[in-house]
Amino acid sequence: VGGQLMGSEPEEFGPAARRLVESGFHVIDINFGCPVKKVMSRCRGGYHLSQPEVALDIISRVRDTVPAEIPVTLKMRRGIDDSSESADNFFMIFDGAYARGLSAITVHGRTVDQKYVGPSNWEFLKQVKQHAGEKTVIGSGDLFSPQSCLDMLRVTGVDGVSIARGAIGNPWIFQQTADLLRGKSISPPDVTEQREVISAHFELAREFYGDKKVCNTMRKFGIFYSELHPQYAEVKKAFIAVKTAADWLKVLDQWYTENAPGRFPPVEKPNPLSLETPAV
């Protein structure tokens, strides 16, 4: 399990990395990708892509603090924007990170400016992997299905993929992708299997957020999970309507008691370089 660091001041990164190591994380990752307004205005996350000297200072401090046997990795977007200066900064940080001993870099093929508008640039990921040679590069962006993961690996040549939005409401995507990679056929979880996982998620969320707040967060996830249900439209409506934790559990009882085959969640905007056909 990896722990990720995000911050503005280089001096804070060493002590923060030490705390993550003491907490037992297996990998320490640094976030130079987050495009959220509040994060950018505090000079954190993706902001560092605009200041390579500071970024490299942070990387050195983390690598120098973390014991050699624990990998330190980096997460980046493909730049701040589409300018050539941004591309130069990207490669300065990218090359400098490996030179300072980082084990892998995950690259999300969107710029910080782009946020989530438009596709992840898989052509750029291909270029980055060719540039990196033997170094480990992990690709990110538009991985909504097992097929899209295989497509990214094939099109870009990256060493691994990092699934993000595609796992929200569909944690089965990891096993399915691993199976598809090994040439096995895959099928969506049936309703009973969905219920087991959704219930476990609810219990973990209740432990973490408490009885009062659990409804808000699990309402959101319920809406995502509903996409896998054979009667997705009705189930989605039912999750949207919940107001309390008790309402939420009633939706589970009403819609997840009788078993039936599940479905793969539709992919609305597949990456242009993926073989996936968009849902109609």
Ligand X SMILES: Cc1cc2nc3c(=O)[nH]c(=O)nc-3n(C[C@H](O)[C@H](O)[C@H](O)COP(=O)(O)O)c2cc1C
Footprint on this chain of ligand X (rule: CB under 6 A): 4, 31, 33, 75, 108, 120, 140-143, 164-166
H helix runs in the chain, sequence order: 10-22, 37-41, 52-65, 84-99, 122-132, 146-156, 173-181, 191-225, 232-241, 245-255
DSSP SS3 for 185: coil
144 or 255: CB nearest ligand X:
144
**Angle CA 237–142–84, to nearest 5:** 135
**Residue placing its CB nearer to ligand X in the complex, 108 or 129:** 108
Q: How far is the CB of 36 from ligand X (least distance, A)?
A: 9
CA–CA separation, 251 vs 241, rounded Å?
A: 10
CB of 49 to ligand X, least distance (A): 13
CA distance 130 to 132: 5
CB of 54 to ligand X, least distance (A): 18
| Rounded Cα–Cα distance for residues 77 and 128 (Å) | 12
Q: Respond yes or no: is residue 34 known to be catalytic.
A: yes
- Tokens found for residue 124: 């750029």
Min dist. Cβ of residue 108 to ligand X (A): 4
Q: How far is the CB of 259 from ligand X (least distance, A)?
A: 30
In this structure, which amino acid lies at residue 214? V
Nearer CB in complex with ligand X: 33/222: 33
3-state SS string for 24-41: CCCEEEEEECCCCHHHHH
Report phi then psi at 104, rounded to 5: -160, 155
Nearest distance, CB of residue 246 and ligand X, angstroms = 27
Which residue is listed with tokens 């300072």?
Answer: 100
Q: CB-wise, 120 or 226, nearer to ligand X?
A: 120
Continuous segment of H or E residues that includes residue 105: strand 104-108
- Sequence-distant (≥ 6) Cβ neighbours of residue 64 within 8 angstroms: 14
Name residue, tokens 């992840």.
120
Euclidean distance between CA atoms 7 and 51, whole angstroms: 14
Q: Which is nearer to ligand X, 109 or 238 (CB)?
A: 109
Task: Name beta bridge partners: 108.
Answer: 77, 140
Q: For residues 61 and 108, which CB has a smaller minimum distance to ligand X in the complex?
A: 108
Q: Which of 83, 139, 130 is nearest to 111 (CA)?
A: 83
Residues annotated catalytic, as ranges? 34
